[in-house]
Amino acid sequence: MRKGREATSAKFIQTLVYHDGPQLLLLESDRGLNMLAVAIDRDDMENAFFACEMREKVFNKYIHNKADLGFVFRSTPRNRFYFFSLDDSGDGNIELTPAHANELYNSEYWPGPGFFSYSHTHDIIQGERYPSVSQAYNIDGSWEPSEFSRFSNKISDIYAFLFMTGRLADAQSAQSDRLLMKGIVSGRLWQGGGSYIGFYDEIASRVSEFNPLELDRIHYASPGEIVFRGEAQVFAEISQTVKQFAENTEELKSRYRLLNGILAKEKLKRADKSKGFSSRALEDQVAYETNLLAKSMRIPEAEKLRELCESTVIYCKVVLSYYRRVEALNTFRSEGRLEVAATVNNESMGEG
Amino acid sequence: MFKEVLPAGCPTQDDGICVGKYVLRFIAGPQATPQDFLSHAALKKPRPKDIDLCSWHSCSCWDASVAEHKVLGMLALPRLRKRYSHVAKMWIDEKAGRLRVKDTGHIDLWMYASFDPVASTKKVMSLP
């Protein structure tokens, strides 16, 4: 893979829009970055395309309909635009010509607003990179609007937490995600509700670059269903976690109360995060109990999570916050208003 | 008998027979002409390697019942925006030909030789 300042060639991946000829193509540059290329008319080039090379974050925003094609092009740095002729791509290898600054002022080359990936005429065939499935949660009884919102928030937090902690085990992504998680954890004061909300919002934001949780539909009736889209493995883990919580509620609750009680007694719940336990023995006990709670709650890579936290106090607070979210989900279940079944519709997300 | 000489096995058995519906077709001027309905193959334009021969020989249309913003969103793509100024609303039925409809509303249409797309155009609208 090249590491130069500019790409020189690209590999043809697939056609995304075919309407009277190819109109939008997906390529991969020789620097390993995604490229989107739109068909244009140029007097000096047959079957010409105008392409931009982008970071994964921007590409994922586009693929998940979080940004239109115009945004992708506008947010690309000026030195990452290229031209090429599709006629010269015999074996799928495309020679790129960097766009000169003056060529970038030609508005005829630029995609306009309002084109989203859901309009692709051809499915993205990178299914392995962006697998997405539907998960239906059956509901019953009476639900207030605020309860739908609370349920969605809890699912969203748990999904993001499991997704990110799960990635800590992935050798390829571990380094960058570890640094990112460490930054998110250390950027919080951990003195109250705002810290926790901010923590989950930030990890959800990171998850949205890969495979965000999306609310697909709510069918409100008795019984009805709430359907999300996201990664199958994470949905399966949520189901297992809630099942395990339901089977061991009392044991988990007593462990939570023990830890919460120690933090309260040590006046650490709202203390400055530099404050620690009054004794080393107590800190060791809290670390031990937190590990047990984390494992009982099926938190993936709990040891790695501990390493990312600056102190035992913060590690404990993170695990307790996760407990509270699973407990809230389990409350809906125990009231008989929610069924957390492991039923997943295995349809891959193709056309955005 | 189709309007264009199609490759063997095209359209496929899975491709449907037209039932009465309106479709939209981008065209280059205020009057629809036969030239507006030619396939990319008929225009002797190159075929990308991942586009099957059958699609290459089709006339691209949109299901008129698809949300307007979705169809007009296609005009954000530079070459389509430059080449087309109008959209023809055409009626197709079982005498029109065979078609392949995607969830996006995009239609590959293979017209029968006897079908006249210009005469079947009920309305031409100017594009914004």
Name the token pair of A275: 């404050």
| Angle in degrees, CA A58, A22, B82, rounded to 5 | 90
The chain A residues in contact with chain B (CB within 8 A) are 12, 14-15, 17-25, 38-41, 47, 50, 68-70, 86-87, 92, 108-116, 118-122, 351
CA distances from B75 to A124, A290, B43, B86, B127 (A): 21, 56, 21, 11, 9
Best CA proximity match to A207, nearest among A304, A130, A115: A130
- pLDDT at residue B47, rounded to an integer: 82
Residue A39 in contact with residue A48, Cβ under 8 Å?
yes
Nearest to A297 by CA among A318, A279, A283: A318
What would the pLDDT profile of A264-297 be if each residue is shown by its tens digit?
A: 999 998 888 788 999 999 999 999 999 999 999 9
User: What CA–CA distance (Å, rounded) separates B93 from A323?
Assistant: 60
- Determine what percent of chain B is predicted with pLDDT higher than 90: 66
Characterize the bridge pairing of strands B59-63 and B16-17: unpaired
Note the pLDDT of residue A170: 67
Cα B43 → chain centroid? 14
Mean pLDDT of A317-324: 94
Q: Which residues contact A30 (CB under 8 A, 6 or more apart)?
A: A1, A2, A7, A8, A9, A10, A11
What is the predicted pLDDT for the residue at B73? 86
DSSP string, A49-110: EEEEEE-HHHHHHHHTTSS-HHHHHHTS-GGGEEEEEGGG-TTSEEE-EEPPGGGGG-GGGS
B52 touches chain A (CB under 8 A): no
Chain A residues with CB-CB distance to B48 below 8 A: 12, 15, 18, 22, 25, 86
Ramachandran angles phi, psi of A138, nearest 5°: -75, 135
Q: Which residues contact A178 (CB under 8 A, 6 or more apart)?
A: A168, A304, A308
Q: Which long-range contacts (CB under 8 A, 24 or more apart) does A87-95 make?
A: A87/A46, A87/A47, A87/B46, A89/A12, A92/A11, A92/A12, A92/B49, A93/A9, A93/A10, A93/A11, A93/A12, A94/A9, A94/A10, A94/A11, A94/A12, A94/A27, A95/A8, A95/A9
Give ipTM to 2 decimals. Answer: 0.88
Q: Which of A107, A119, A347 to mutate to test the interface with B (most CBs of B within 10 A)?
A: A119
Q: Quick one: average pLDDT of B115-125?
A: 95
pLDDT of residue A348: 38
Is the peptide bond preceding residue A111 cis, with omega within 30 degrees of 0? no
Provide the shortest C-alpha distance from residue B64 to chain A (in Å): 15
Q: For A35-59, how does the pLDDT look when each residue is reduced to its tens digit (9 = 90+)?
A: 999 999 999 998 899 999 998 778 8
User: Which residue shows structure tokens 């999300």?
Assistant: A228
Closest CA to B87 of B99, B73, B101, B100: B73
Closest CA to A203 of A238, A236, A168: A168
End-to-end Cα separation, chain A, in angstroms: 28
Q: Which of A85, A107, A273, A280 is nearest to A189 (CA)?
A: A273
- Nearest CA distance, B95 vs chain A (angstrom): 23
**Phi/psi at A195 (5° precision):** -65, -40
Asked if A17 lies within 8 A of B77 by C-beta distance, the reply is yes
Residues of chain B with Cβ-Cβ distance to A72 below 8 Å are none
| The pLDDT value given to residue A173 | 60
3-state secondary structure A163-229: HHHHHCCCHHHHHHHHHHHHHHHHCCCCCCHHHHHHHHHHHHHHHCCCCCCEEEEEECCCCEEEEEE
Average pLDDT, chain A: 85
Nearest CB to B50; choose among A15, A38, A112: A15
What pLDDT band is residue B121 in, cutting at 50, 70 and 90? very high
Judged by average pLDDT, the poorest of A2-11, B29-38, B95-104 is A2-11
**How many of the other CB atoms lie within 10 Å of CB of B85?**
14
A95, A84 Cβ separation under 8 angstroms: yes
Confidence band, pLDDT 50/70/90 cuts, at residue A346: very low
Residue pair A298/A241 in contact by the 8 Å Cβ criterion:
yes
| Encoded amino acid at B30, one letter | P
- Distance, in Å, from the CA atom of A165 to the CA atom of A177, rounded to the nearest integer, reads 9
Distance, CA of A240 to CA of A217 (rounded, Å) = 23
- Residue A109: how many other CB atoms lie within 10 Å: 22
| Whether the predicted pLDDT of A128 surpasses 50 | no
Tell me which chain B residues have a C-beta less than 8 angstroms from the C-beta of A52: none
Residues recorded for chain B: 128
**In this structure, are residues A218 and A226 in contact, taking their beta carbons and an 8 Å threshold?**
yes
Please, which pLDDT band fits residue A238 given cuts at 50, 70 and 90? Answer: very high
Rg over CA atoms, chain B: 14
- Give, in order, the Cα–Cα distances in Å from B21 to each of B1, B29, B107, B111: 21, 23, 12, 14
Q: Specify the pLDDT at position A347.
A: 43
Mutate to test the interface with A, among B79, B80, B84, B106 (most CBs of A within 10 A): B79
pLDDT digits (tens, 9 = 90+) for A57-85: 788 888 878 889 999 999 999 999 999 99
Confidence category of residue A248, pLDDT binned at 50, 70, 90: very high
